[in-house]
Amino acid sequence: MRDDHLITAKQLSREDVESVLDRAAEFDADPAAFGDRHEDAILGLCFFEPSTRTKMSFETAIKRLGGDTVDMGTVESSSVKKGESLADTARVIEGYADALVLRHPSQGAAKMVGEFVDVPLLNAGDGAGHHPTQTLLDLYTIRENAGLDDLTIGIMGDLKYGRTVHSLAHALTNFDADQHFVSPESLKLPRSVRYDLHEEGAMVREHTELEEILPSLDVLYVTRIQRERFPDENEYQEVAGEYGIDLETLGPAKDDLTVMHPLPRVDEIAPEVDDTDYATYFEQAHNGVPVRMALLDQLLEGDR
């Protein structure tokens, strides 16, 4: 497998993260100034499940660098529908593009495709598995707002299925960050993630109540509690309210708390929070473009 595929946040050392974030900051300062950097580059977009925003963010990033995209379209209209394997589809599309972006519903899909293709591959989400580019834009946002060292972060919501959480938690072990995990008992971190964090020597502190740790937090990273995960609607209703935040919940928080969310949100963060200095989730979403520009720049540069 090529070593410049980006499959999981686990591959990223502190140096890797810092070099992408530093470069992203340069693009962020003047995104329109780099339109001739990769004029002939073609990025192949392989989205086997819909994700309009992630896809648009990659499209914007490559176009800002002067490149363009080829897109396999929706799964319904492609040969996948006719039963072609993912491995075959990817091997065909790699012939059209200088790099590939893959979003797929199966866990491990990106790792497998990485074993078959020769152009650099970016994993844009594989089921409940990994989403490393999201992690990098999360880290970028954290660094801009709170710094990555001497950081106390609370990660709250669906920690069991939330792939953004798994990748982020792992990446944060590179830094001097205290991580607290807040979730209902039924949505705690899966054992494979706890295993990795222990292996990295990180302390895993788990809570069911946000109040226990809110006053000490520099960052609160909220994720959606996914209704469809609950076998029983009542069970969902019981926990959903407990893990939403509004101005009242945030009362005991530090003034400079940074509230993040990978979006889309449903009702985890009340709209009244949007106009406060806490709210950083839209900025977080916008950071996807410079961060993906930095990643693409690195991959396409390495290809010359």
**Interface ranges with other proteins (CB under 8 A):** 85-87, 104-109, 111-112, 115, 126-129, 191-193, 195-196
Residue 224 in marked binding region = yes
**Which residues are paired to 260 by β-bridges?**
221
Nearer Cβ to other proteins (110/296): 110
Neighbours of 14 (CB within 10 A): 12
Q: How far apart are CA 107 and CA 198, in angstroms?
A: 22
Residue 82 in marked binding region = yes
User: Which two tokens mark 295?
Assistant: 């990643």
Residue 134 in marked binding region = yes
Q: Which residues are catalytic?
A: 53-54, 82, 103, 131
Compute the least distance from the CB of residue 292 to other proteins, in Å. Answer: 24
Residue 103 in marked binding region = yes
Nearer Cβ to other proteins (83/251): 83
Compute the least distance from the CB of residue 10 to other proteins, in Å. Answer: 9
Contact 213, 179 (CB under 8 A): no
Compute the least distance from the CB of residue 237 to other proteins, in Å. Answer: 26
Compute the least distance from the CB of residue 72 to other proteins, in Å. Answer: 17
Q: How far apart are CA 250 and CA 8, in angstroms?
A: 33
Compute the least distance from the CB of residue 243 to other proteins, in Å. Answer: 25
Neighbours of 33 (CB within 10 A): 11
Residue 131 in marked binding region = yes
Residue 53 in marked binding region = yes
Which of 6, 15, 47, 87 is closest to 296 using CA atoms? 6
Order the strands of the 68-71 sheet from edge to edge: 68-71, 42-47, 99-104, 121-126
Nearer Cβ to other proteins (199/277): 199
Q: How far is CA 76 from CA 73, 125, 234, in A?
A: 8, 19, 35
Nearer Cβ to other proteins (37/111): 111
| 18: CB partners within 8 A, 6+ apart | none
Residue 168 three-state SS: helix
- 159-165-166-167 Cα dihedral, nearest 10 degrees: 170
Binding residues for carbamoyl phosphate: 53-54, 103, 131, 134, 263-264
Binding residues for L-aspartate: 82, 163, 224
Binding residues: 53-54, 82, 103, 131, 134, 163, 224, 263-264
